Amino acid sequence: MSLIKKMHVFILAFAVLVVLNCCKNTSEKTGEALIESTIGNDADVDLEDEKIVIETKEGTFTSDTANHSWPDEIPKSVPEFLDGKIVNISTRELGASKNWNLLFEEVGDKALSDYKTKLKENGFKVSSITMGGTNTQITGENNDLIVVVMGGDGMVSLSVGIED
């Protein structure tokens, strides 16, 4: 391929990247404006790839589908849920309270009963409810910490809250 053809291919590829980036930025800005107007213009919304951050006077909400690791900020007395794969992590900070919501998929059948045991071993007062045969809800309380785990059929939602 001649140098001129290589330059044309390079310029075309660069132009496509610029157009795609421009469109991405436009759709992000449109999405941010839509969310801000829905919540109220006092909200600051940032959409970036697989993450959304909404900040208001009351607090901050973050949802991240790119992060697949147990958050380091969760208090160490809360046992890590090790079964399955994290597909989304959301956090909410309102004043002194903070909540984490983690969604898992590919969770094994014994994961909820094993986690219930871990909560008890870590000093949580635990109660559980089985709903509809395969779905279970487990609630653990320890001082100002509340852990709620719900799931079945390979999917689990785990919520950790610090209430003051």
pLDDT digits (tens, 9 = 90+) for 41-55: 566 767 777 778 878
- The rounded distance, in Å, linking the Cα atoms of 127 and 120 is 10
The proportion of the chain whose per-residue pLDDT surpasses 90, expressed as a percent, equals 44
Calculate the CA 111 to chain-centre distance. Answer: 20
Tabulate helix, strand, coil % of the chain (nearest 5).
30, 40, 30
pLDDT digits (tens, 9 = 90+) for 105-150: 999 989 999 999 999 999 999 998 877 777 889 999 999 999 999 9
3 state DSSP class of 123: coil
**In this structure, are residues 97 and 159 in contact, taking their beta carbons and an 8 Å threshold?**
no
> Beta strands 97-105 and 59-64: pairing type?
unpaired
Q: Say how many CA atoms lie within 13 Å of 37 toward its Cβ.
A: 6
Q: What is the pLDDT of residue 50?
A: 76
* 93-97 mean pLDDT: 84
Angstrom distances, CA of residue 80 to CA of 26, 97, 122, 132: 39, 20, 11, 26
pLDDT at 28 exceeding the cut of 80: no
pLDDT at 94 exceeding the cut of 90: no
pLDDT at 84 exceeding the cut of 80: yes
- Write down the residue that tokens 């941010």 correspond to: 32
Calculate the CA 70 to chain-centre distance. Answer: 10
Query: What's the pLDDT band for 152 if we cut at 50, 70, 90?
Result: confident
**In this structure, are residues 102 and 89 in contact, taking their beta carbons and an 8 Å threshold?**
yes
- The rounded distance, in Å, linking the Cα atoms of 42 and 61 is 14
- The rounded distance, in Å, linking the Cα atoms of 38 and 164 is 29
Q: Domains (ranges, CATH) in the chain?
A: 1-47 (no CATH), 49-162 (3.30.160)
| Phi–psi pair at 77, nearest 5 degrees | -70, -15
Q: Which two tokens stand for residue 84?
A: 């399955």
